[in-house]
Structure 1
Amino acid sequence: MQSRRDQVQAYSFVVGRLTSGMLGGNPDAVDTPATRTRRGAVVSAVLSVLLCLGFLVYGLLVPGGSDAWREPGAIIVEKETGARFLYSGGSLRPVLNYTSAKLATGAAGTVTEVSAKDLSGTARGTPIGIPGVPDSLPAADALRGDPWQVCATSRATDDGKRAPVTSVGVAVSARAQKVPAGGAVLAEGPHGKREQYLLWRGKRLRLPERGGARQALGFGTVDPVRVDSAFLSAVPAGPDVRAPEVPARGDQGPELAGKRRRVGELFAVRSSGSAGQHYVLGKDGLVPLTPVGYQLLRADPGTREKAYGGERPTATVLDADETQAHLADRGEGPRTGGLPTRPPRPVQPGSGSATCLRIAPHGHRPQQTFTLAPRRYAGGSPLVERAHTTLGCPRPGLLSARPGGGVLAAPLSGGRHATTGAPFLITGDGTKYPLAARKVSDALGYGGASAVPLPAAVLRLLPTGPRLDPAAAARPPRSADSASADSASGDRASGDGASGDERCADDGARPAGGIQGPAAGSGAPDRTRAAPGRGPAPEPAPASEPGPASAPVRAPARSAGTTG
């Protein structure tokens, strides 16, 4: 008799045959349908994974031909060579440098790396760009408003002596000592002039050869610091240190202290037993003098010859009542505006120090002070001639800059403390590039940056590169002469306040120019101008049809200053 186990197994066998017959058409199959289904699913999954991995490896080794870079205004960089292109109108326009690409596309231009194979089937257009502009730009967060300095240092010559040389650049020394407000440095100009100056409170006060001003102020035995014309051109000029003018000097005046006096004689009033306040006798009475004014008049040969008849000038002491009775009307008499009230204390730089003019940005008016910096912090790299770049005028000997940094500098016109024209971009190597307009900084990615006001006389010392103009960046490069003219025009535009006697020898031969766009120099529009963000301009017209942009831009003539 069969057991229950045998019955269950028999039932399962019969059901299995029925299932195999219905699903597979073969009731005598060795494997059940479910087993074959699971085995097939596992094998299919493994094959799918292997196939995907194969495609992944192939894609990494042989990149696919994506066309995502085919966007108007896109900056294309070829992976294998680093060559730059702009995609415009279905063709690739080679670009000379990255700055030109940014100028032509504006702030919206994005950089995309594409393989040479993917670019091989795209037509090439005419190269565009500005020769000589930087191939890399400072980052927006690298633009700084650090102080600048112009230092009078020296270098060894072939004969073993030392010659004055000027260094200009970012102030990097924290050990510089500020010249006290009551002190001044005696400086002497280059050979051939031998003019001497007092460097006092951020200005240079010229000491005329005649008049005895140097001895009168107590600098007769002080050795002057030798400086060159580049340093002097950067220091704002103050008034000459000369005796104030006394009208009608030598004419007969009133009776004072029991004696008939002459116009131009000097007097002192008793103050607590000492002669405190000094006066000069003018044609209308006694005029108060500052201590400096008194010393200058006392040393002036005109006072000795006209007021004292060739004798040594001495101040006659008056009492307060007599002085009050003979005072001139307020506002009349000699003036010494701009000069120190008291003789400044001589400050003698040591052998290891350099005299520097420190320019610290401060609102709309930078603060300019004199400092004594260690000579090793006042150096720099020698300036060398470079293509498409004009050296400073006057030319400094050394330049120190901060690699990777930059400055948006707005030139300050001499004496008005107001920015004039478009700003300059100063790159990490110390070269300044004039912007065609203020809004050009937006195309370079500096939309939120503020320009730092710097004196035009200091900017003039820096090398000047080509003008950063979106219109010029979007058209084929011009000749070397035109590019150098743009560079020279930017250098001239930053030269307001420079001394006329200290112009470079080739200054008069330079074509005039400005830092405004072509529209500023001519009434005609520029047919090749491309707006930032819209890619390069169309292919240029033949050479027989020059556009307005080919004409040099004229800038207003600048007036020549004086050396002191």
Structure 2
Amino acid sequence: MQTKKDHVHAYQTLVGRMSAGLLLGDTNYSEAPARRALMGLVYGVVLALLVGVGFWVYGLINPGGNMAWKKPNTILVEKESGARFVYDRGLLFPVVNHASAMLLKGAGATVETISRASLSGLERGAPIGILGAPDPVPSANALVTTPWLLCLPHTGGGQPPGQGLMSLNANPDASSTPLDEREYMWVGSTDGHQYLVWSGLKLRLASPAVAVALGLGTSSPPSAPPAWLAALPDGPEIGPASIEGRGTVQVAGSARQVGTVFRQAAGNGTENFVVLRPDGLAPMSRTEAALLTTAQGESAADIDAATMASMPRSADTSLTSRIPDLLTAKSMPIGERAYCLRQELFGSSVVSIPVTTERNFAWFGMNEQVGAYLKPGTGLLAASAPAPTGAGAKPDRFLITDRGFKYRLADDEAIKALGFGGAAPRPMAAEVLAQIPSGPVLSRAAVGPVERGRG
């Protein structure tokens, strides 16, 4: 009588013969299909586990087996401390910072992390490098290519030290708002002159009395350093017009001096201004009238429409457009938002656009020098502008880091060694660069004592 065990064996035999028939075309094949592949997989997994365990045991017994220090053109970073080394001619040299290591090894150097144990048996050389060089060095894809802001921190409120400070903010996240076409900034220079920044130009005021005539009062405006003012092209000087000619002219039966300003009230509530010239009445803007009457120390004389219509008209209409009609515009208030220039690159030229920004984007705790702020991990590759014009001459190039310092790059070789060979420097005014705190010059020759190009 058959048992359950016999039934199971019979079932397995039947299934095996059916599988063999389907896969191999032979129902009498004595070995299970794919058995060899399955056993090979099992043996492979077991062998891999044994090899892995072997390496693990070896690592426990001899943890310093990494031989990365033997690779040419390699910067070694100790895993436990972050210290940097280079291996040269049988000696392991500590390097004071990452910029020095990159300059020493040159373009194409690779960075390898290695354990302290792997370096323990190597003979050490003296520390090498350039003290104060950047550490770390921003990567080429972290270089800023967007516009930056040159700001006057004290215009944004608070109490920053110094009244002639300027900050440079190259953080792409720093927002700014351009001035409206009827807005201007009122600033002073360090040599006592006053300016209006209007429509992308700086307009010098001929005297402090001009500020009074424009309704700006008698107080002093915030001071802007020369580098900030130099970024703006000059516009016309703002001052009272010079009226040529002398003598008197009869106006409504009365003798009036040439140069007298008249005001005619129009029916729509506006006012028209004219000035008396030897050949008749000449139209003028409201701003020209205010400047001239302030200089003369008298108010404009009233004239009615009939008298104005009966008087001859001068052919000179220059006082309607000689200077902007600033009394129809307004000065940006001090203390609400900081005055800035957004510097953008158009072709090979840098254009400065007057803008305002929040105070925290303009002041970040700098001293009497320019405070430079970049987003952590980024940098700015700048070229001094204007560039020299001689054949083959190149401008001075600088790396500005997120520490707020600039480092002059000695030559193309240094630029390539730091990984910036394919990056285009951004033109920046020499006056601005001169005020940013400086670090050491970066060159391969300055690293020492290992000779350039070795390793």
* Unpaired runs of at least 5, structure 2: 1-42
Task: Check if 1:535 corresponds to 2:450.
Answer: no
Cα deviation, residue 95, structure 1: 1.8
Q: Are the counterparts in 2 of residues 244 and 335 from structure 1 also a CA contact under 8 Å?
A: no
Distance (Å, rounded) in 1 between the aligned partners of 2:47 and 2:259: 113
What is the one-letter code of the residue matched to 1:469? S
CA contact 1:129–1:473 (8 Å) conserved in 2:
yes
Query: What is aligned with 2:292?
Result: 298
State the match for 2:406 in structure 1.
Answer: 432
**Displacement after TM superposition at 1:196 (Å):** 3.0
Question: Residue 358 of structure 2 aligns with which residue?
Answer: 374
**2:152 is equivalent to residue 151 of structure 1:** yes
Alignment correspondent of 1:353: 337
SS of structure 2 residue aligned to 1:470: coil
Which residue number corresponds to residue 70 of structure 1? 70
CA distance in 2, matches of 1:90, 1:376: 52
- Whole-angstrom distance in 1 between the partners of 2:384 and 2:218: 36
State how 1:235-314 maps to structure 2 within 5 Å.
236=232, 238=234, 241-243=237-239, 265=259, 291=285, 294-295=288-289, 298-299=292-293, 301=295, 304=296
What is the CA distance between 1:197 and its match in structure 2? Answer: 2.4
How much has 1:296 moved relative to structure 2?
7.6
**1:471 counterpart = 2:445:** yes
- After superposition, the Cα gap between the structure-2 partners of 1:223 and 1:110, relative to the gap in structure 1 and judged at 3 Å, is same
Is the 8 Å Cα contact of residues 273 and 289 (structure 2) preserved in structure 1?
no
1:20-61 CA-to-partner distances (Å, cap 9, x unmatched) read xxxxxxxxxxxxxxxxxxxxxxxx999988974563123322
Q: Deviations over 1:345-392 (max 9, x none)?
A: 122326432222222344433332223333344332344xxxxxxxxx
Residue 397 of structure 2: aligned partner: 423
Check whether the contact 1:72–1:89 (CA below 8 A) recurs between aligned residues. no
Asked if 2 retains the 8 angstrom alpha-carbon contact of 1:267 and 1:318, the reply is no
AA partner of residue 135 (structure 1)? D
CA separation of 1:174 and 1:473: change in aligned 2, threshold 3 A: closer
Instruction: List per-residue Cα deviations over 1:159-196 (Å, max 9, x = no partner).
Output: xxx97865432356676432212321223457xx6643
Task: Give matches, 1:201-240, under 5 Å.
Answer: 201-209=199-207, 212-216=209-213, 218-221=214-217, 225-227=221-223, 229=225, 236=232, 238=234
1:409 is matched with which residue? 382
Match in the other structure for 1:36 = none
Q: Structure 1: where are the runs of 5+ without partners?
A: 1-43, 305-309, 384-393, 477-527, 537-564
Alpha-carbon distance change, 242 to 66 in structure 1, aligned in 2, over 3 angstroms? closer
Cα 1:175–1:406, aligned 2, differ >3 Å: closer, same or farther? closer
Question: 2:245 touches 2:277 (CA, 8 Å); kept in 1?
Answer: no
TM-score where L is the length of structure 2? 0.66
Measured after TM superposition, the shift of residue 87 of structure 1 is 2.6
Q: 1:146 to 1:298 in 2, by over 3 A?
A: same
Partner residue in 2 for 1:197 = 195
Q: Is the 8 A contact 2:197 2:354 kept in 1?
A: yes
Partner of 2:119 in structure 1?
119
The alignment's TM-score, normalised by the length of structure 1, stands at: 0.55
CA positional deviation for 1:322: 6.4
CA distance, structure 2, for counterparts of residue 104 and residue 277 of structure 1: 73
Report the residue type matching 2:349 in the other structure.
R
Q: Residues of 1 paired with 2:114 and 2:173: CA distance?
A: 45
- Residue of structure 1 in register with 2:434 after alignment: 460
Q: Tell me: CA distance 1:82–1:346, structure 2 relative to 1, closer, same or farther (3 Å).
A: same
- Contact 2:194 / 2:221 at 8 angstroms: preserved in 1? no
Contact 1:77 1:84 in 2 (8 A): yes
Change (3 A) 1:106 1:442: same
**Equivalences, count:** 397
The one-letter amino acid paired with 1:408 is L
SS state at 1:59 partner? helix
CA separation in 1, counterparts of 2:260 and 2:412? Answer: 57
Q: Alignment partner of 2:332: what SS?
A: coil
Residue 291 to residue 48, structure 1, CA distance change in 2 (3 Å): closer
Q: RMSD of aligned C-alpha atoms? A: 5.1
Query: Which residue identity lines up with residue 59 of structure 1 in the other structure?
Result: Y
- How much does 1:433 deviate? 1.6
Post-superposition shift, 1:246? 5.5
Preserved contact between residue 186 and residue 197 of structure 1 (Cα < 8 Å): yes
SS of 2:446's equivalent in the other structure is: helix
Change (3 A) 1:266 1:469: farther
